[in-house]
């Protein structure tokens, strides 16, 4: 699908949290929030800091340390939509922010602003005979000092920044009582954070300061109390939007105000309150390559500016009774230089925010701090933070337990209620619920299979056989008539809601329209809902399964008389529109749900159904990185073109292994099948189709006793398949433990 124009940028993406990582990246791309390069980098994991670059950044480097990068949705700031990048290890921060922003946008979102980006440099002068006179002299020579400072950085002046003002302060040393005159140089550093620039200006004016004061200059360094670069944000939330979870809107409003009151008068509470604010601000500071220690130092010093440490926010009710929240916080950040040049993730994150200038980024960060404070105070004054943490923990446990989507929320609720948030408990609850569970629309749902290639990928392009087995129930779909507003396609897991209007629109929606025309139902009103149970772009035949499930659902609703053969033919049309020249294997397996031996002979596809002995007990490990099938097929072809006989030899070997695998499958010799899969992986490796993630998954599978393990499909990402008659759960569990999604097929136990 073509990315939407910038005008259609939205930060609302329904069900984003339910999507796989690859689906989230695609959803952001579809909305024009990530460009092609960003998608490629994220999908292939190339966005992280390369070791060789890290080695140049600090001393004694031994590695690169990982933290999760997540995106908070729903932000509306000064009337503009933002998806906010966050780097943070603590659960519930990203979800809390997205929830707070969703509520705020109902009443217009956040208003935020920043002052000019002024950074203060300090020059400390001592051993002065007459400090008061020295201070007057410094002020009298202000222009001379500013001119000297600016002559050191003419480019900053040309950009509209530079040293703008001078202030002077007198202090007495606590140890020996001697006088210290401190000159403050106020520098507008525009889009740079400005630390180096201000430090070098302070160094540069030091001897002039000595001449003017007759003293001796000691420290020359910026101040991290950046109280001349202030950002402010405000939000207004009507009480009706606050009600929920058994609490009236007024009770929530008053609870938030009371919680804030405590943080205003009590430094013990203020520290925790402000820590929560910095949960959001630090996370975006890191994601945008900013010095979060500087941002932290400024915030806490500013919070204590009255002489007593207090909250950075204020919550109160306005005349209409609405809850109003405000934050005022120093925010000296940069949008040029530094990490932006060395770290690709930082570049992606700036683009995601629409490449703001430094004051705008600072304003966004203030709004994020206010949103995080709201999320924390709302949770504290209603369910309590622990409850939210438990829910998140329960979600991750339910996912480890492989709870199906239809039961997921119910299992999570029961887990939290039981207080026993354990994988075994999740499985027990899921078993009990699934006995009771009757999906209201189950009878209306039609399904289709995905596929997994056991052996023969790539060689199949050169006329050798391939062996593939189905993934049952890979996709479900239903069609509801009526609605009176044309044809809607909804795929909630992908956050996709789309009108099907014409054949020109490209992608699934375009080809669907032309098929609906062929079937004579393109003018009907209907909603087509698709529920994929396998991730897309992972080489598991998801697109063909989508097409077949939709066609079956259309048949179910409109009684069109579509036979399986016709459905297969139409699904092939969809595959052609999606992939150019498909082999036909995906749509055939999606339709018939049977293991197949496939071979192209004299340009004609030949399918042989394999009646295997019992189900094949497989675990599919999903890398989460898009399989670049078109690229890998093209790379293999280039290699084959330059050394045909060498590569034909490899394809012959793969072909022979595949024939032997067909026999092994027919006769139920799983040990033999496993060995053939392992050998085949060797050849696929020789064709350079594997990736570190695929190798890790293969290694995990073999280490936990899989008989065979290999990549499946195009390679270069995507998925791998392991044959595990005795230990499916152990293999799948170890893969999930390592952070991968899995699918278990032909459950052996």
Give the residue with the Cβ less far from ligand MEV, 134 or 380. Answer: 380
- Provide the minimum distance between the beta carbon of 275 and ligand MEV in the complex, in angstroms, as a whole number: 6
> How far is the C-alpha of 185 from the C-alpha of 145, rounded, in Å?
9
Token pair for 728: 């499916």
In the complex, the smallest distance separating the C-beta of residue 349 from ligand MEV, rounded to whole angstroms, is: 22
d(CA 256, CA 379): 9
Q: Is 523 exposed, middle or buried (0-12, 13-18, 19+ CB in 10 A)?
A: exposed
Q: Which of 316, 284, 281, 283 is nearest to 299 (CA)?
A: 281
Strands 526-532 and 487-491: parallel
The nearer residue to ligand MEV, 371 or 534, going by C-beta atoms, is 371
Question: Tokens standing for 279?
Answer: 């949960």
Look at residues 107, 84, 78, 108 and name the one whose alpha carbon lies nearest to residue 96.
84
**DSSP-derived pairing of the beta strands 179-188 and 446-455:** unpaired
Q: Which is nearer to ligand MEV, 279 or 568 (CB)?
A: 279
- DSSP E strands in 401-486: the ranges are 446-455, 466-481
* Cβ-based nearer residue to ligand MEV, 312 or 528: 312
Task: Give the integer Cα–Cα distance in Å for 576 and 543.
Answer: 11
Task: Write down the least CB distance from residue 243 to ligand MEV, Å.
Answer: 21
Residue 272 or 737 with smaller CB distance to ligand MEV: 272
Looking at the Cβ atoms of 312 and 743, the one nearer to ligand MEV is 312
Which position among 184, 250, 317, 389 bears the catalytic label? Answer: 389
* From 90, 502, 608, 663, the catalytic residue: 90
- Report the alpha-carbon angle 494-496-501, nearest 5: 150
Shortest gap between Cβ of 385 and ligand MEV (angstroms)? Answer: 5
Known active-site residue 420: no
Which of 631-638's residues contact partners 24+ apart within 8 Å by CB, and which partners? 631/716, 632/458, 632/689, 632/714, 632/715, 632/716, 633/458, 633/461, 633/714, 635/688, 636/458, 636/461, 636/687, 636/689, 637/461
389 is catalytic: yes
Cα within 13 Å of Cα(435), Cβ side: 5
CA-to-CA separations, 185 to 110, 155, 171, 221, in angstroms, rounded: 33, 18, 17, 10
Query: Is residue 7 a contact partner of residue 79, using CB atoms and an 8 Å limit?
Result: no
- Smallest gap, in angstroms, from Cβ of residue 109 to ligand MEV? 22
Q: Is 579 in the active site?
A: no
Tell me which DSSP letter residue 50 carries.
P
Active-site pick, 23, 30, 291, 586? 291
> Three-class SS string for 533-591?
CCCCCCCCCHHHHHHHHHHHHHHHHHCCCCCHHHHHHHHHHHHHHHHCCCCCHHHHHHH
Instruction: Give least dist CB 94 to ligand MEV, A.
Output: 13
Distance of CA 519 to the CA centre of its chain: 39
- Please say which residue, 255 or 713, places its beta carbon nearer to ligand MEV: 255
Q: Active-site residue among 275, 393, 566, 666?
A: 275
Q: By beta-carbon distance, which residue lies closest to ligand MEV?
A: 276
Q: How far is the CB of 263 from ligand MEV (least distance, A)?
A: 8
Q: Is 425 a catalytic residue?
A: no
Q: Smallest distance, Å, CB 278 to ligand MEV?
A: 9
Nearer to ligand MEV (CB atom), residue 233 or residue 403 = 233
Q: Which is nearer to ligand MEV, 335 or 382 (CB)?
A: 382
CA distance 166 to 163: 8
Can you tell me which residue has the tokens 């695609």?
A: 26
* Nearest residue (CB) to ligand MEV, 88 versus 709: 88
Minimum CB distance to ligand MEV, residue 256 (Å): 10
Question: At residue 719, what are phi and psi to the nearest 5 degrees?
Answer: -130, 170
Region of 495 please: left (phi>0), alpha (psi -120 to 50) or beta: left
Shortest CA distance to 471 belongs to which of 287, 267, 721, 112? 721
- Interface with ligand MEV (CB under 6 A): 90, 272-273, 275-276, 279, 376, 380, 385
- How far out from the chain centre does Cα 622 lie? 17
DSSP string, 671-720: HHHHHHHHHHHHHHHHTT---HHHHHHHHHHHHTT-SEEEEETT-SSSEE
| Nearer of residues 18 and 269 to ligand MEV, judged by Cβ | 269
- C-beta separation of 307 from 225 below 8 A: no
Residue closer to ligand MEV by CB (options 262, 336) is: 262
Min dist. Cβ of residue 605 to ligand MEV (A) = 58
Minimum distance, C-beta of residue 258 to ligand MEV, in the bound complex (Å)? 13
| Nearest distance in Å: CB 362, ligand MEV | 22
Written as six digits, the tokens of 455 are 């052996």
Q: Which of 128, 221, 119 lies closest to 162 in space, CA to CA? A: 119
Lookup: tokens for 10: 């939205």
Q: Please identify every residue annotated as catalytic.
A: 90, 275, 291, 389
């Amino acid at each position: 699908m073509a990315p939407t124009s910038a005008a259609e940028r939205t930060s609302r993406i329904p069900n984003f949290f339910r999507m796989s990582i690859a689906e989230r990246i695609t959803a952001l791309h579809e909305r024009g929030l990530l460009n092609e390069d960003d998608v490629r980098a994220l999908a292939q994991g190339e966005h992280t800091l390369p070791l060789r670059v890290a080695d140049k950044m600090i001393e004694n480097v031994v590695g690169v340390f990982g933290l999760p990068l997540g995106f908070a949705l729903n932000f509306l700031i000064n009337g503009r939509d933002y998806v906010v990048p966050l780097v943070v290890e603590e659960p519930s921060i990203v979800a809390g922010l997205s929830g707070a922003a969703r509520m705020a946008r109902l009443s217009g979102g956040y208003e935020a602003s920043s002052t000019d980006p002024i950074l203060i440099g300090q020059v400390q002068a001592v051993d002065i005979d007459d400090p008061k006179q020295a201070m007057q002299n410094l002020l009298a020579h202000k222009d001379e000092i500013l001119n000297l400072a600016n002559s050191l950085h003419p480019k900053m002046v040309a950009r509209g920044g530079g040293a703008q003002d001078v202030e002077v302060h007198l202090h007495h040393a606590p140890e020996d009582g001697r006088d210290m005159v401190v000159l403050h140089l106020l520098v507008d550093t525009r889009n740079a954070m400005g630390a180096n620039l201000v430090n070098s200006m302070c160094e540069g004016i030091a001897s002039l300061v000595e001449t003017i004061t007759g003293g001796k200059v000691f420290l020359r360094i910026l101040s991290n109390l950046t109280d001349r670069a202030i950002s402010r944000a405000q939000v207004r939330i009507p009480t009706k939007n606050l009600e929920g979870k058994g609490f009236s809107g007024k009770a929530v409003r008053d609870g938030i105000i009371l919680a804030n009151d405590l943080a205003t008068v009590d430094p013990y509470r203020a520290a925790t309150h402000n820590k929560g604010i910095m949960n959001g601000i630090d996370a975006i500071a890191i994601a945008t390559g900013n010095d979060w220690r500087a941002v932290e130092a400024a915030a806490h010093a500013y919070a204590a500016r009255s002489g007593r440490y207090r909250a950075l926010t204020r919550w109160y009710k306005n005349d209409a009774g609405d809850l109003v929240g405000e934050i005022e916080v120093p925010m000296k950040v940069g949008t040029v230089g530094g990490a932006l040049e060395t770290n690709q993730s930082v570049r992606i994150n700036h683009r995601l925010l629409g490449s703001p200038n430094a004051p705008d980024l600072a304003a966004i960060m203030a709004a994020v701090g206010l949103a995080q404070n709201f999320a924390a105070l709302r949770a504290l004054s209603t369910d309590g933070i622990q409850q939210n943490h438990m829910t998140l923990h329960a979600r991750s446990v339910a996912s480890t337990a492989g709870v199906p989507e239809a039961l997921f929320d119910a299992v999570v609720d029961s887990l939290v209620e039981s207080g026993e948030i354990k994988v075994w408990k999740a499985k027990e609850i899921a078993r009990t619920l699934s006995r009771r569970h009757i999906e209201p629309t189950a009878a209306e749902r039609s399904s289709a299979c995905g596929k997994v290639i056991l052996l023969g990928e790539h060689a199949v392009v050169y006329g050798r056989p391939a062996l593939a087995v189905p993934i049952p129930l890979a996709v479900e779909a239903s069609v509801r008539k009526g609605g009176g507003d044309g044809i809607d396609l909804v795929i909630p897991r992908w956050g996709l809601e789309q009108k099907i209007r014409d054949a020109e629109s490209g992608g699934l929606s375009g080809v669907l329209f032309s098929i609906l025309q062929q079937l004579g139902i393109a003018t009907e009103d209907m909603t087509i809902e698709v529920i994929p149970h396998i991730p897309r772009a992972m080489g598991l035949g998801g697109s063909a399964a989508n097409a077949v499930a939709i066609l079956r659902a259309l048949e179910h609703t409109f009684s069109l008389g579509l036979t399986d053969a016709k459905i297969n033919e139409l699904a092939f049309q969809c595959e052609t529109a999606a992939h150019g020249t498909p082999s036909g294997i995906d749509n055939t397996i999606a339709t018939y749900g049977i293991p197949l031996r496939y071979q192209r002979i004299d340009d004609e596809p030949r399918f042989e159904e394999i009646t295997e002995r019992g189900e094949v007990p497989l675990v599919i490990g999903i890398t989460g990185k898009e399989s670049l099938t078109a690229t890998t097929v093209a790379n293999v072809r280039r290699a084959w073109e330059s050394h045909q006989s060498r590569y034909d030899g490899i394809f012959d070997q793969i072909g022979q292994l595949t024939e032997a695998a067909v026999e092994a499958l027919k006769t139920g010799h799983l040990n033999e099948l496993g060995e053939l899969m392992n050998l085949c992986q060797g050849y696929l490796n020789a064709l350079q189709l594997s990736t570190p993630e695929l190798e890790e998954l293969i290694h995990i599978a073999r280490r936990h006793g899989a008989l065979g393990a290999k990549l499946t499909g195009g390679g270069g990402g995507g998925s791998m398949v392991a044959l595990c008659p005795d230990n499916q759960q152990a293999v799948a569990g170890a893969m999930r433990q390592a952070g991968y999604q899995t699918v278990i097929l032909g459950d052996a136990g």
